[in-house]
């Protein structure tokens, strides 16, 4: 997997984040049309903040997202945008999700790709459904 470096007037960077977050009360709602729409919405929201999705996968009650990030954004800002936008849109499009007090928990995991290669994390994220 060849990744491009982000270049600005005064900097060059390559920052990859691996995010994991869960559905409120670990409800197993990420199936079928909801799952497909969630992936589309995640990709849309990541593009809007000038980042790039490397891999995204869901498994019933949690999401794995591996992105190449813009240096101007902190991880909490990325999660705020992605979780907020997806929750709002999914709950509007799928009324059955309104029975949850909220779509996502407030917590999330964020790791950088410093200890292992980006390819390793991408394979891990893509293989989540096979476990």
At residue 2, the pLDDT reads: 66
- Condensed to tens digits (0 to 9), the pLDDT of residues 46-86 reads 999 999 999 999 999 999 999 999 888 999 999 999 999 99
Partner residues linked to 66 by β-bridges: 18, 55
Extract the tokens encoding 44: 């849309």
Give me the pLDDT at residue 94, please.
Answer: 97
CATH number of the domain encompassing residue 66: 3.30.70.1290
> Is the residue at 8 inside a domain?
no
Asked whether the predicted pLDDT for residue 118 surpasses 70, the reply is no
Q: Which domain holds residue 85?
A: 13-130
Mean pLDDT of the chain: 90
Predicted TM-score of the model (pTM): 0.84
Asked, for residue 66, whether it belongs to a domain, the answer is yes
Residue 58 covered by a domain: yes
Q: Is 6 part of any domain?
A: no
Is the model's pLDDT at 116 over the cut of 70?
no
The verdict on residue 5 lying in a domain is no
In a domain, residue 3? The reply is no
Contact 28, 35 (CB under 8 A): no
User: How many domains are contained in the chain?
Assistant: 1
> What's the whole-number mean pLDDT along residues 102-125?
80
Cβ neighbours of 124 (radius 10 Å): 16
- pLDDT at 131 > cutoff 60: no
115 pLDDT band, cuts 50/70/90, is: very low
26-47 pLDDT, tens digit per residue, is: 999 999 999 999 999 999 999 9
The arrangement of strands across the sheet holding 52-59 comes to 52-59, 62-69, 15-22, 109-112
The reply to whether 110 falls in a domain is: yes
| In-domain check, residue 33 | yes
């Amino acid at each position: 997997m060849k990744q491009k470096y982000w270049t600005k007037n005064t900097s060059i960077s390559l920052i990859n984040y691996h995010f994991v977050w869960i559905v409120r009360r670990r409800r197993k709602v990420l199936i079928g049309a909801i799952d497909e729409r969630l992936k589309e919405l995640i990709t849309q929201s990541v593009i809007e903040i000038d980042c790039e999705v490397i891999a995204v996968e869901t498994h019933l009650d949690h999401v794995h997202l591996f992105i190449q990030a813009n240096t101007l954004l902190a991880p909490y800002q990325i999660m705020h945008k992605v979780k907020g936008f997806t929750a709002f849109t999914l709950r509007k499009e799928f009324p059955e999700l309104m029975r949850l007090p909220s779509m996502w928990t407030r917590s999330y995991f964020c790791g950088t790709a410093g200890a292992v290669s980006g390819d390793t994390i991408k394979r891990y994220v893509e293989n989540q459904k096979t476990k």
